[in-house]
Amino acid sequence: MVCTAAGASYLAPLQELVLSRAGLARVCADWTHHMPALRRLDLSHNRIAELQFADLKIQRTVANAEVELSYNPLHVVRCSREDYELARDEPVPQQSAKIIMDSRLECTCREYWLALALREGRLPGFEPRCAAAADPAGRALLHRPLQKLILINKNLIK
């Protein structure tokens, strides 16, 4: 787990953090709050299978950053309606982090709000692709038809 401690001012000047092969399974939402100068975060070769929308906060706070997530079993990015609405109310980032990942998302109804955020440019630099089971063409979630994401859960949009 990557979490920062309150009052961790010693992290402020940190520009690169390599946590590759650290056995991490989760990232905490506050991981960038105390590292405003962070430009490169290497989380490759870990056990991160799921991210929360808040975990991508670097997209909106640090310009020209790179987050390496390759070689993780990442298959889900949870984004609720509330996450989407909060992101929609923020200004669209002019510069953004590049998220590097080689795994593909499930692209089920759970990714509906994430797909909307991507279509509106709320996460530039993040271009997740769909797993073959969900989309044999392996298209980016951005290009997956929204109606395919809402067929299972009729209560998703209220």
CATH of the domain at 37: 3.80.10.10
Q: pLDDT tens digit string along 26-51? A: 887 666 677 878 889 899 999 999 99
Could you give the CA distance from residue 114 to residue 107 in angstroms, rounded to a whole number?
Answer: 10
Position 156 in a domain:
no
Q: pLDDT tens digit string along 97-149? A: 788 999 888 888 888 899 998 888 888 778 888 887 767 777 788 888 887 77
Position 3 in a domain:
no
Position 4 in a domain:
no
Position 1 in a domain:
no
Position 158 in a domain:
no
Q: Which whole number is the average pLDDT over 154-158? A: 48
Instruction: Compute the CA torsion angle 81, 86, 88, 89 (nearest 10 deg).
Output: 140
Position 22 in a domain:
yes
Q: Does residue 158 register a pLDDT over 90? A: no
Position 2 in a domain:
no
pLDDT of residue 24: 95
Report CA-CA distances (Å) from 146 to 53, 64, 98, 112, 152: 18, 30, 24, 7, 12
Q: Domain limits at 17?
A: 9-150
Give me 144's structure tokens. Answer: 């997956």
Other beta carbons within 10 angstroms of residue 150's beta carbon come to 15
Question: Whole-structure pTM over 0.75, yes or no?
Answer: yes
Amino acid residing at 74: L
Structural domain count, the chain: 1
